[in-house]
Amino acid sequence: MKKEVISTKNAPGAIGPYSQAIKIGNLVYTSGQLPLNPATGELVGEVKKATAQALENIKVILEEAGTSLDKVVKTLVFLKDLNDFAAVNEVYATYFTENPPARSCVQVAKLPKDAILEIEVIALAD
C-alpha cells in the first residue's frame, strides 16, 4: 500500500515535521488540528469557537483527501480543561449529527501554542 501525503492551503500548515494528513488504503489519518484560523494564523481561544475552528480545519483536510466528516470513524479530542467537555460537545454535535464516530476525549497538561484544544480524526476514504 502506498502512503499519500494530504496537504491543503485551506487549513493551517504543520508547525512541525509532520503532514496535515496521511491517506493509506481507504483510511485518512489527520494530524491533530489546533483551533488556528488558516487565513490569519490566529489561535482561537473561546472554547466553542475553538471547537468549530478545529473541526473546520479537519473538514477541509478531509475534503482535500476526497472524503468528508460523515465518513469519520474515530475522533480524539485533547482538552486543556475537561470542564470544557459540555461546551465542546455542544458544537461537536452540530458537526456529527447522525451516527457519530467513536471518540476519546482526554485532558492534557499542555498543547502546542498553549491552545485550549486539539482534535484529530480517522476517516474512511472512497
At 4-58, the pLDDT tens digits run 999 999 999 988 899 999 999 999 999 999 999 999 999 999 999 999 999 999 9
Minimal CA–CA distance to 51: which of 93, 110, 107?
A: 93
Which residues are known to be catalytic?
105
Decide the pairing of beta strands 72-79 and 102-107.
Answer: parallel
pLDDT tens sequence across 66-106: 999 999 999 999 999 999 999 999 999 999 999 999 999 99
pLDDT value for 14: 87
In order of start, what are the domains of the chain with their CATH numbers? 3-124 (3.30.1330.40)
Task: Give the phi and the psi of residue 51 in degrees, each rounded to 5.
Answer: -60, -45
DSSP 29: E
Q: How far apart are CA 13 and CA 22, in angstroms?
A: 14
Gyration radius (Cα) of the chain, Å: 14
Decide the pairing of beta strands 117-124 and 72-79.
Answer: antiparallel
